[in-house]
Amino acid sequence: MSSPEHIVLLGSTGSIGTQTLDVVRRMRACGEAVDIVALAAGRNADRLADQVSEFGPERVVVADDATADAVRRRHPRLPIAVGEEALADLAGTVDAGIVVNAVVGARGLLPTLAALERGRVVALANKESLVVGGELIAECLRSGEGEIRPIDSEHSALVQCLRAGERGEVRRLVLTASGGALLDAPPEALPAITPEDVLAHPAWSMGHRVTVDSATMVNKALEVIEAHFLFELPYEQIDVLVQPGATTHALVEFSDGAWISQLAPTDMRLPIAYALGAGRRLDLGLSRLGTDELRELRFLPVDGERFPAFHTMLGAARHGAAARAVVNAADEVLVERFLDGDLAFPGIAAGLDAALREWRAVHASAPPGDDLTTLLDADRRGREAAQRYVEEGR
Ligand code: MG
């Protein structure tokens, strides 16, 4: 038997993190040699301590001292580090075959860069890594030995579709969208939409930000940006179609006119297993699609009036890395304030637009660079602009 695959899991207590551990559990039950060598989480000490008991990592990183103390009470001898630097350090220095980055938010970028710089395979669920740091990551991939395996249903599906032809034969990529919780809600009802309405998402089991981002289609815009960097194709060759059943995750049109599409159950454990298994088709006993679910395959264009935030995000994408960092950070804040009840649902799109306008007014003559300092500064300014928008609108 070959030596076990060592996995570092960042963001272990979140939605993707817990599903990753379930995949690891199932892979082991199938005789796959996989080991969790390190875990990183935010502040959910109880869940993390349970994970440590079950998977026995050698090291752990958490967000703050209080969480570290709480985990230490149950695991007194475990080395526990604290903070964002420790997180990036964990990704880069632990002897890992695969780093699963399921951190939520822009703080996921530094660990991704650290892992790639050390030539690691990054199973990437952190969208912001590519959305904010796409150019930096592309440079890393070109110069080093690192590799990215996407943990996102659409991008995993694209990887699978692209196996059907050569890169030069690709005419366009299509990502699908379920349309989120509000696809059929009348437009006049949108101002009264509550967080509970949005979180009752029909298709996927996901974290709260992603679920709200699905309802505004910000998530899909972020995925277009991800695809642009992952597959090195211009935005003109990446389209989005709404498929309400969410059974089709991506399509690729090739130069001869043929389309290749990937269909699968809406279960994030499938793309996770595809990444951890290096593209092998492991039978982990997960759910399957029935023929009933294939009966209706409708594909609709994105309605720009219903989803204004989608176009704002893609507009920002064309203004470079710093503009992307601004709208991404602004969205994080706006979604949080919506979930807290401080902002009406249409305010998310309007706040994004305001943050982008403010940024563009400042940088009208000379767009800033895409070095890390500029991006982190843009991230901060996006957050401030969004907070201002919410406070002034109250
Ligand atoms: Mg997705």
Helix residue spans in 30-143 (DSSP H)? 45-55, 65-74, 84-93, 109-117, 127-143
User: pLDDT tens digit string along 16-55?
Assistant: 999 999 999 999 999 999 999 999 999 999 999 999 999 9
Q: What pLDDT, on the 0 to 100 scale, is given for residue 201?
A: 59
Question: What mean pLDDT is predicted for residues 88-95?
Answer: 85
How close is the Cα of 153 to the center of ligand 1, in Å?
Answer: 5
How close is the Cα of 387 to the center of ligand 1, in Å?
Answer: 27
How close is the Cα of 393 to the center of ligand 1, in Å?
Answer: 31
How close is the Cα of 157 to the center of ligand 1, in Å?
Answer: 10
**Nearest alpha-carbon partner for 332 in 204, 222, 167, 196:** 222
How close is the Cα of 75 to the center of ligand 1, in Å?
Answer: 35
Sheet of 238-242: strand order equals 238-242, 170-177, 248-254, 259-263
- How far apart CA 185 and CA 220 sit, in angstroms, is 19
Q: What pLDDT, on the 0 to 100 scale, is given for residue 206?
A: 66
The lowest-confidence range among 251-255, 257-261, 296-300 is 296-300
- How far apart CA 336 and CA 328 sit, in angstroms, is 13
- In this prediction, residue 106 has a pLDDT band, given cuts at 50, 70 and 90, of confident
DSSP string covering 197-251: HHHS-SS----HHHHHHHHHTHHHHHHHHHHHHHTT--GGGEEEEE-TT--EEEE
User: pLDDT tens digit string along 131-173?
Assistant: 988 999 999 998 877 999 999 999 999 999 999 999 999 999 9
How close is the Cα of 335 to the center of ligand 1, in Å?
Answer: 17
User: pLDDT tens digit string along 309-327?
Assistant: 999 999 999 888 899 999 9
How close is the Cα of 100 to the center of ligand 1, in Å?
Answer: 16
**Nearest alpha-carbon partner for 214 in 174, 251, 244:** 244
Q: What pLDDT, on the 0 to 100 scale, is given for residue 269?
A: 97
DSSP string covering 39-58: EE-SS-HHHHHHHHHHH--S
**Nearest alpha-carbon partner for 53 in 29, 32, 36, 34:** 36
- How far apart CA 35 and CA 8 sit, in angstroms, is 9
166 or 207: which leads in pLDDT: 166
Question: What mean pLDDT is predicted for residues 386-390?
Answer: 96
**Nearest alpha-carbon partner for 6 in 164, 115, 157:** 115
Output DSSP code: residue 11: S
355 or 303: which leads in pLDDT: 355
How close is the Cα of 354 to the center of ligand 1, in Å?
Answer: 26
The structure's pTM equals: 0.91
How close is the Cα of 223 to the center of ligand 1, in Å?
Answer: 7
- How far apart CA 131 and CA 29 sit, in angstroms, is 36
94 or 60: which leads in pLDDT: 60
Average pLDDT across the chain, whole number:
92
DSSP element (H, E) containing 260? strand 259-263
Q: What percent of the chain has pLDDT over 70?
A: 97
- In this prediction, residue 205 has a pLDDT band, given cuts at 50, 70 and 90, of low
Q: What pLDDT, on the 0 to 100 scale, is given for residue 368?
A: 73
- How far apart CA 73 and CA 245 sit, in angstroms, is 46
- In this prediction, residue 1 has a pLDDT band, given cuts at 50, 70 and 90, of very low
Query: CA–CA distance from 252 to each of 126, 134, 240 (Å)?
Result: 23, 22, 11
**Residue 258, pLDDT above cutoff 80:** yes
Q: Which residues surround ligand 1, an ion (CB under 5 A)?
A: 152-154
